[in-house]
Structure 1
Amino acid sequence: MFIDPLAIFLIFCCGYLISRVGLPPMIGYLVAGFALSTQGYVSGPAIREIADIGVTILLFTIGLKLRVRSLFKPEVWAGASLHMLTTVLLFTGGLMGLAGAGLSIFAHLDLTTAALIAFALSFSSTVFAVKILDESGRAASLSGRTAIGVLIVQDIFAVLFLAFSTGKVPTLWAVAVLAALPVARWLFMRILNRIGHGELQVLFGFFLAFVAGAWAFDIVGMKADLGALIMGMLLAPHARANDLAKSLYSIKDFLLVGFFLEIGLAGLPSMETLGVALLLVLAIPVKTFLFFLVFTRFRLKARTSFTTAHLLGNYSEFGLIVGGLAVTNGWLSQQWLLAIAIALSVSFVIASPLNKSIDTIILWAKNALKRFETRERHPDEEPYEAGEWQIIVIGMGRVGTGAYDYFNERFGAVTLGLDFDAEMVDRHLENGRQVLLCDVTDPDFWHKLPTKGHMVKLVVLTMPNLESQLFVVEQIKKRGYPGDIAAMAKYDDEVEILKEAGVDTSFNVFAEAGIGLGSHICREREGLDILSLKAEEES
């Protein structure tokens, strides 16, 4: 069925149409599965195998992004654990209450089954959060780092559940496999140094995920998925781990189509199932508020807590994986899995526009949100103090760093860099640059600026996200800043949008890169007759 031309056409059309309205294509794959099920299509071994491969690669790539050190921050490991525990308890109580009310689909729920459903609903979507963070360019911000850390902790809980739920008892050889991991890590690190790019890198990724990870764990009685995750974790510190993960992303996304399609092929939901899904959707605000409350208890500002909570407030594809295993083992009915799948889709539909409008929502509800803040501030959110700078470069990536070094060389130490990536700020400080950690898209940042801001003569915006640039320009104008504003753009139409917003100088960074290259060559070749050199080469 998976290679049926009509099925492929429908799957693509549904995924494309859903993506055009700003939602993850996975919702379209679920819809396609429901539609195909009405035409007599059913799931089979091929689709199931494709789905399993996709899940294994997903776990391996998650492991490649895992930085163990980041998980030890209290707001991450303790916040994720506390939220999951509280959510499971509350949702279990709610489900048991509905069972006591005599509703038919809830009537056969016992405490264990209700807790299992609550556990599946406690997860947040990694795919959705990463997509939102990538689009906004804020993956390295405090809210982005916290959200990703919480997602990884949740993923570990999910994998542990998958590992122990099958009832497989590890053999004595499992000790040997675990003992060999440091040696395997040393070897694979060196192979990754020499593997190059292209198809060999992709094949090496498959070898690590399925042979060194999943297969090696499976033959000694441990869960294969756990092996894939651990193998990814072992290679996460490598400089090319992110490159390896990116080489697998498209394959992983394609194979996961089988997973979401398999859910939809289970059949159309009944009205009763739709009613359950609606009840689950109504519980999303409770889950989101619990995240907000937990993060504020760990001294994060209300704005950071609110932003992070909305990144994590939806339901998760891992919840479907947990639910699918429960159905396979006979612990849940297929109707419950369909209800969770529908609730997941609706949660994406709701969360996508909310996350895109999060700054507007925070400004509207600022006073109410601030009541939940603690007096003590998180170390990464200490009040900002500026010096007597004349040039401010906002966004210290490659373009921002180049601009900073140029200004410093020409005008002296009058330039300050700002960025919300803590690791990047630390690297710049080690290299002697004057860079501070802050989030310029936080309205509170602008209110806390010292009154000496009039000394600044030039602000340079090098953030990659247009919406963030426009927000900063608006805040600068509100403060009556009299100096010049310059901004980079990725497309020609963005140049005009920035100038209309009040930017004095805007340029297409890719077009300027060519001009910069030509200028650099001319400086390096100064004193030579280029035309004579060309004639000499032609002769």
Structure 2
Amino acid sequence: MTGYFLQAFIYLFAAVIAVPIAKRLGLGSVLGYLIAGVVIGPVIGLVGSETTTIQHFAEFGVVMMLFLVGLELEPRMLWDMRHRLVGLGGLQVGLSTFIVMAIAMAMGIGWTVALTIGLVFSLSSTAIVLQTFNEKGLGKTEGGRTAFSVLLFQDIAVIPMLALIPLLALPELVEKAQNLVQTASEHSEELSLVAGLPGWAYAIVVITAIVIVVVGGHFLSRPLFRFVASSGLREIFTATALMLVIGIAALMSLVGLSPALGTFLAGVVLANSEFRHELESNLEPFKGLLLGLFFITVGAGIDFGVLFGDFSTVIGLTLGVMLIKATVLLVLSFIFKVKGSDRWLFALSLAQAGEFGFVLLSYTVQNHVLPTDIAKTLSLVVALSMFLTPGLFILFDKVILPRFQKTENEREADEIDEQGTVIIAGIGRFGQIVNRLLVANGVKTVVLDHEVGQIENMRSIGIKSFFGDATRPDLLHTSGIEEAKVMIVAIDDKERAVELVKYVRKSYPHIRILARAYDRGHHYALRCAGADYMISETYRSALALGTQALKDVGFHPFRAEQLKAAFVETEAKSKEVLYQTWKESTEENKFNASYRELFMQLEEALGEAMKGERSDKHAKSERGWTPPPKGYSDVVEKLQAEKGDEN
């Protein structure tokens, strides 16, 4: 028992130290886990022979990850992906396998071994790619969605690969290890429901297992979750979620299918379940820990003896495989019209070999398709390619993506052939609403934005807009700013927004400037620059939501509207004092102690205003409300207290 505790402490300690450092350096958590594994394994030798066993256990993190991915996908969404799932995924696996096989045969390797090597290297790492996508927010991009469809096809393709590999067994290896084959066969029969079955019976068992997962997930899971949820014990719900995933993985293994594929299918079935978010929150910590453990074992499993024994061959194979796969993916991105930086994200993210490569290599040795020494070398190539993958993501982030963004933003501005009463700088989520309201009421607008993607999106839905930097005087001139009445500043960059307001106020004093502010400091800066009207983008929506919250907790609608009006009135009175305090500060941090003290005093005044009873005339916005009777709040409190006593 002491040994298990020590091993667990070593793995956890390595993760706790390495991962935060890697994240702080911008390397990502995956590379942190891999480095931690290398340090505690080959470098200082704190872990050793148990790494392979732990890796098999940690692979369950991949199974959980695909279950959680399935929960995010509705069946209809999966159906919409079918063309890229089958077409792009199928071509990637087929072409990668064929090219690697052809090169291996050209090097004098037999076709069966060459085909097996091609199949192993055609797969990519679902664990590393999806984990990195989640960390970097790349999953929703075009390149991320395309990569996911290929990964999903690869996971499905593992099934026919496992069926094909035993047919490629080398006669000399079979004869040499005939006794071992018999022992392995007997062991396999104990853990399989399909061993020795004819083809038609195997097909029936597989279909039955899939039907059990789909039908059971749709009809039986909900009553089960309701029953468990009624207990009110969170740990039992967690146990149920683990039981579900483990049970499906075990069933798929017993019928010779991929556990990851089975749990993914179950996740898709449960995507519309009311318990989806509860399942995610319960399984996410287990998934994260197991995936981290898996990455550590990959790093710890790198055999430096094999690596340095034939360094040039191993490195050459690793780089060669990654180059071949990246080239294939890049060609396919042109065929399937993946554009811009998404094309490179797609090609680089899937250039490595994957964790299922370890599974296939182990399976090939068991079935005497590959000699043990070749399998060891190939396992090292798989591990090294996974180790290098975070570096490819760093290359994409630091080199490729900035170049594409720079190229897009440096293209020549559009020729502005229209002039309007209102010029809108920035057509993001804020500027869109302003523009729609004005256009709907017959006000002529000219829209400028310096992001190509945003302009294309607007044009695709019929909103005319022009690409260009609104801070450029020549573009403002061609937009007709001399004759315009209003300038609306809604660009994302706070500093550029302030500079634009300063320029327009100085050069065109006749125009009225309305600006969107991100926060209080930006609000003050815009006012100081000369804006006539500023509004914080979240102020009105937060005020409306807060008012609704007051109503929902028992305040009479009339009283809630009164309190909102009092809040707005008190805020309006305090704005000028706070602004002057901010403006007069000479410190670098204008939100100094004096400002904070004044703000706290005004917050106290706000609290007093909220307590006051309104007996004066009602505002126009309040006249449509029926006021509550006297003592209404006391009655509500009494009723709530009685309800609490009943519960």
Equivalence map 1:291-440=2 (5 Å): 291-326=329-364, 331=370, 332-362=374-404, 436=461
Q: Distance in 1 between matches of 2:364 and 2:427?
A: 49
| 3-state SS in 2 of match to 1:41 | coil
Residue 531 of structure 1: aligned partner: 611
1:57 aligns with 2:64: yes
Aligned residue identity for 1:531: K
User: What displacement does 1:294 show?
Assistant: 1.3
Contact kept in structure 1, 2:147 and 2:350, CA below 8 Å: yes
Aligned residue identity for 2:270: L
Aligned residue identity for 2:123: F
Aligned residue identity for 1:80: G
Q: Distance in 2 between matches of 1:273 and 1:89?
A: 26
Q: Distance in 2 between matches of 1:404 and 1:485?
A: 14
Q: Distance in 2 between matches of 1:174 and 1:356?
A: 46
Equivalence map 1:124-273=2 (5 Å): 124-134=124-134, 137-158=137-158, 160-162=160-162, 168=195, 170=202, 173-188=205-220, 190-191=222-223, 194=226, 199=235, 201-211=237-247, 213-220=248-255, 222-238=257-273, 241=276, 244-245=279-280, 247-266=282-301, 268-269=303-304, 270-272=307-309
The 1:120–1:512 alpha-carbon spacing in structure 2 relative to 1, beyond 3 Å, is farther
Equivalence map 1:21-100=2 (5 Å): 21-37=25-41, 38-39=45-46, 41-43=48-50, 47-48=54-55, 50-66=57-73, 67-74=77-84, 76-97=85-106, 99-100=107-108
Aligned residue identity for 1:281: L
The 1:83–1:391 alpha-carbon spacing in structure 2 relative to 1, beyond 3 Å, is same
Q: Distance in 2 between matches of 1:158 and 1:340?
A: 16
| 3-state SS in 2 of match to 1:217 | helix
Contact kept in structure 1, 2:425 and 2:488, CA below 8 Å: yes
User: What displacement does 1:86 show?
Assistant: 1.6
Contact kept in structure 1, 2:70 and 2:268, CA below 8 Å: yes
Q: Distance in 1 between matches of 2:265 and 2:82?
A: 17
| 3-state SS in 2 of match to 1:313 | coil
| 3-state SS in 1 of match to 2:378 | helix
Q: Distance in 1 between matches of 2:235 and 2:439?
A: 47
Structure 2: any 5+ residue segments left out of the alignment?
Answer: 167-193, 409-417, 469-474, 551-556, 567-609, 615-630, 639-647
User: What displacement does 1:153 show?
Assistant: 2.0
**What is the TM-score when the length of structure 1 is the normalising length?**
0.67
Provide the identity percentage: 20
The 1:192–1:358 alpha-carbon spacing in structure 2 relative to 1, beyond 3 Å, is farther
Contact kept in structure 2, 1:63 and 1:230, CA below 8 Å: yes
Deviates most, 114-123 or 336-345: 114-123
The 1:282–1:407 alpha-carbon spacing in structure 2 relative to 1, beyond 3 Å, is same
Residue 380 of structure 1: aligned partner: none
Which protein has the larger Cα radius of gyration, Structure 1 or Structure 2? 2
Contact kept in structure 2, 1:124 and 1:313, CA below 8 Å: yes
The 1:72–1:118 alpha-carbon spacing in structure 2 relative to 1, beyond 3 Å, is same
User: What displacement does 1:85 show?
Assistant: 1.6
Q: Deviations over 1:301-351 (max 9, x none)?
A: 455433433343344344444445445656352232122211221232133
Contact kept in structure 2, 1:64 and 1:241, CA below 8 Å: yes
Q: Distance in 1 between matches of 2:220 and 2:270?
A: 8
The 1:43–1:344 alpha-carbon spacing in structure 2 relative to 1, beyond 3 Å, is same
Contact kept in structure 1, 2:61 and 2:294, CA below 8 Å: yes
User: What displacement does 1:297 show?
Assistant: 1.8
| 3-state SS in 2 of match to 1:73 | helix
The 1:87–1:387 alpha-carbon spacing in structure 2 relative to 1, beyond 3 Å, is farther
The 1:62–1:24 alpha-carbon spacing in structure 2 relative to 1, beyond 3 Å, is same
Q: Distance in 1 between matches of 2:480 and 2:242?
A: 53
Aligned residue identity for 2:86: W
The 1:177–1:311 alpha-carbon spacing in structure 2 relative to 1, beyond 3 Å, is closer
Deviates most, 148-157 or 520-529: 520-529
Residue 176 of structure 2: aligned partner: none
The 1:119–1:217 alpha-carbon spacing in structure 2 relative to 1, beyond 3 Å, is closer
Q: Distance in 1 between matches of 2:17 and 2:319?
A: 26
Contact kept in structure 1, 2:92 and 2:150, CA below 8 Å: no
Q: Distance in 1 between matches of 2:419 and 2:237?
A: 47
User: What displacement does 1:51 show?
Assistant: 1.7
Deviates most, 336-345 or 529-538: 529-538
Q: Distance in 2 between matches of 1:245 and 1:387?
A: 52
For these two proteins, the number of residue pairs brought into alignment is 474
Q: Deviations over 1:144-200 (max 9, x none)?
A: 322222222223223553577588553855444344445313325635885769545
Residue 3 of structure 1: aligned partner: 5
The 1:13–1:321 alpha-carbon spacing in structure 2 relative to 1, beyond 3 Å, is farther
Residue 117 of structure 2: aligned partner: 117
The 1:299–1:39 alpha-carbon spacing in structure 2 relative to 1, beyond 3 Å, is closer
| 3-state SS in 1 of match to 2:5 | coil
Structure 1: any 5+ residue segments left out of the alignment?
Answer: 101-108, 367-385, 426-432, 444-448, 462-468
Q: Distance in 1 between matches of 2:329 and 2:81?
A: 17
Residue 378 of structure 1: aligned partner: none
Q: Deviations over 1:77-101 (max 9, x none)?
A: 312221222222222233344x44x
User: What displacement does 1:387 show?
Assistant: 13
Q: Distance in 1 between matches of 2:239 and 2:452?
A: 35
Equivalence map 1:426-465=2 (5 Å): 436=461, 457-458=487-488, 460=490
Residue 382 of structure 1: aligned partner: none
User: What displacement does 1:140 show?
Assistant: 2.9
The 1:158–1:261 alpha-carbon spacing in structure 2 relative to 1, beyond 3 Å, is same
User: What displacement does 1:254 show?
Assistant: 0.8
Q: Distance in 1 between matches of 2:37 and 2:271?
A: 35
User: What displacement does 1:526 show?
Assistant: 2.7
The 1:135–1:227 alpha-carbon spacing in structure 2 relative to 1, beyond 3 Å, is closer
Which of the pair has the greater relative contact order for Cα pairs under 8 Å at 6+ separation? 1
Residue 414 of structure 2: aligned partner: none
Q: Distance in 2 between matches of 1:29 and 1:62?
A: 22
